[in-house]
Each structure stands twice: as structure tokens, then as C-alpha cells.
Amino acid sequence: MPLLLPLSLPDLESTHAAGAVLAKELGPGSVLALVGDLGAGKTSLVQGLVGALGGGVVTSPTFSLVQEYKGGDREVFHFDFYRIENEHELIELGWDDYLERGGIVVVEWPTLYPDLLPEGTRWLKMSHHEGGRVLSEGRDFS
């Protein structure tokens, strides 16, 4: 069953469940851009996605800039653009190589370097709403 958006996510379990559905929808080579404020649940959504693929324990890539999860059905490369200083730094991290490896690339804070995201990137936004969160889709999040 596909993820029907917008979707209310009242708790952590529903956020993980939405990530698990995304895992079924994202094939090899997919890129997922996650927009949302600090604490909006982006990493929790990725925990559900990676967990459904059997890829291990997910932590925020804020300090490592990229986390790799290789133990599951598909590799997942989880980026955080927040601390990237410029496009050159991202390229030096091997951005193009990650895109070519055929795994799922997930990017938090993608609006900092949107021109580096390939055509076909799926854009999702997580926002706080009435004690929970809402997951919506689309590129225009102004």
C-alpha cells in the first residue's frame, strides 16, 4: 500500500511505520530529500526506512555528515547537508560516487544545495502539527 500524503504522524511508531512504507517504494538509485526543522522527525523517518530494510541502527549524520547502512536489502546513504560549508565539500565527500552506487540516498537539509540533487529526487517535508507531525510531499515548501 503506497504512502498517502499528507499523512499525520502522531507518535514515533507512526513515523517509523511511514519510513517502512517508504522503504518499499524507494528502489535502487532513489534519492529522498527530507525537509523540516530541527526535531521534526526526519531521522526517525529514516530509522523506520532503514529498519524495514534490515540495515541496522540509525543515528543522525549531523556530525559525520554521512552515515552508511549496508547490512540490509539495499544500501542506504544518509546525508546531512546542514554542516556542509559549500558544494565543493560535498563533492569531496564523494557525493557523485554515492549517487552512482545504486543504493538509496537520503538527504536532510536538502534545500541548502538543491542543485546537486538529481532529477527525480523525491521531496518530503516533516512539520510539527498539534502535538505530532505531518508528512507532506512536493518541492515547493515556502
Per-residue pLDDT tens digits for 64-113: 789 999 877 899 999 999 989 999 999 999 999 999 999 999 999 999 99
Here the contacts of 88-92 (C-beta below 8 Å, separation 24 or greater) are: 90/116
Length of the chain in terms of residues written: 142
Q: Could you write out the DSSP letters of every residue in 82-140?
A: GG--SHHHHHHTTHHHHHHSSSEEEEESGGGSGGGSPTTPEEEEEEEETTEEEEEE-S-
Domain 28-135 CATH superfamily: P-loop containing nucleotide triphosphate hydrolases (3.40.50.300)
How high is the pLDDT of residue 6? Answer: 94
Whole-structure pTM value: 0.92
Domain ranges (residues) in the chain: 28-135
CB 41 within 8 A of CB 15: yes
Q: Which of 22-31, 52-61, 93-102 has the lowest mean pLDDT?
A: 52-61
